[in-house]
Structures are given as C-alpha cells and as structure tokens.
C-alpha cells in the first residue's frame, strides 16, 4: 500500500552548539536525505531543512527554527518523515515500508504464498521475509529471477518461488 508519509530516520543527538542535529537515516544512504527540503514529524507538522550533509553513515541536519543546542536537544529521539509524493525512486526499487504487508503470490499458479513481514539487507541483495498462512517464515532473495512483479499500490507481489521453499505449506 502506498503511504502518504514514510519514516526517513531518527534524530539521535546534537551536533555542535548552533542547533545542528545528528540524524540516523533509515534509507540506503545518507545522500538520500539531501533530496528533501521539508521533513515532517509524526503529527504531520513540517519543518524546513536548511542544510543536510552526510557525515559517515549519518546525516547532519540544520532545521529551520533550531538555532541552539537546547532546541536541538529537545528533538532527540524524534522520528522524521517524508511525504511519499516528494520521493523519487529508480525503477525496480521500493520503500521497505510499502513492501511490508504486501501479499505474495506464485506467478505461475496464482496461489497465495503469504505476506511480506520484513526485509533484510545483505551484501548481494535484499532478502524478503514471507510469513506463510501457517505462521511459518520463508526467506526469498529479492532478485529478478524470483521477483516477477511488485505493485505496492495494490499490495500484490508475484514471484517464481524457489523449489522446495513453499512445498510444505499445503
């Protein structure tokens, strides 16, 4: 399901004394954060980003109205969101938050196989955790040979299941 707001990451501490915050992004790279001029709090209140710069595996943000270490400290542990409509993704990529909850079907037979419950990042490719109807879990590699199509708007994924993974689910 396509969501209006998606979690981008969490403010973890202050940075310096002029109001900057250290932000732990929950995306592929801290560079992604630089794409957004406005971020949002859980209640939908927006805050303008004056500056975003990657700093190792985190991002240092200067947010509008946050001009002291005290104001920055008040934001510690806050989760920041993006508006989905502001995000641009390459073809064949999806937000993990939108994959979770999608129904998974066998592309050949149409048989329901389960629901995406989690996504793990590995060095080679992502691994999708599929919760089966029997509350089991099957791990599938998110590669072109397995994943046939993804439609997050319809919460539907078609796969070519690897032999033996779902055989005992009948």
pLDDT above 60: residue 20: yes
Alpha carbons within 13 A on the beta-carbon side of 10: 5
**Domains and their CATH numbers in the chain:** 5-85 (2.40.30.60), 96-159 (2.30.30.240)
Q: Are 138 and 90 in contact (CB under 8 A)?
A: no
Each residue of 67-90: pLDDT tens digit?
999 999 999 999 999 999 999 888
Tell me what the mean pLDDT of segment 32-61 comes to: 95
What are the residue ranges of helices labelled H in the chain? 69-73, 96-99
Of residues 44 and 27, more confidence is placed in 44
Q: What is the pLDDT of residues 38-49, one digit of tens each?
A: 999 999 999 999
Q: For residues 27 and 33, what is the distance between their CA atoms, to the nearest angstrom?
A: 8
* 16, pLDDT greater than 80: yes
Structure confidence at residue 130 as a pLDDT band (50, 70, 90): very high
């Amino acid at each position: 399901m396509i969501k209006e707001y998606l979690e981008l990451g969490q403010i973890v501490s202050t940075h310096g004394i002029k109001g900057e915050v250290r932000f732990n992004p929950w995306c592929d790279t801290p560079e992604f954060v630089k794409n957004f001029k406005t971020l949002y709090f859980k209640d939908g209140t927006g805050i303008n980003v004056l500056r975003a710069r990657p700093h190792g595996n985190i991002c240092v943000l200067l947010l509008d109205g946050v001009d002291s270490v005290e104001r920055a400290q008040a934001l510690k542990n806050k989760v920041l969101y993006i508006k989905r409509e502001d995000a641009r993704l390459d073809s064949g990529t999806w937000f993990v938050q939108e994959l979770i909850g999608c129904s998974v079907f066998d592309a050949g037979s149409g048989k329901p196989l389960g629901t995406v419950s989690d996504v793990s990042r590995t060095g080679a490719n992502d691994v999708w955790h599929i919760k089966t109807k029997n509350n089991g879990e099957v791990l599938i590699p998110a590669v072109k040979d397995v994943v046939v199509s993804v439609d997050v708007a319809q919460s539907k994924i078609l796969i070519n299941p690897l032999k033996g993974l779902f055989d005992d689910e009948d």
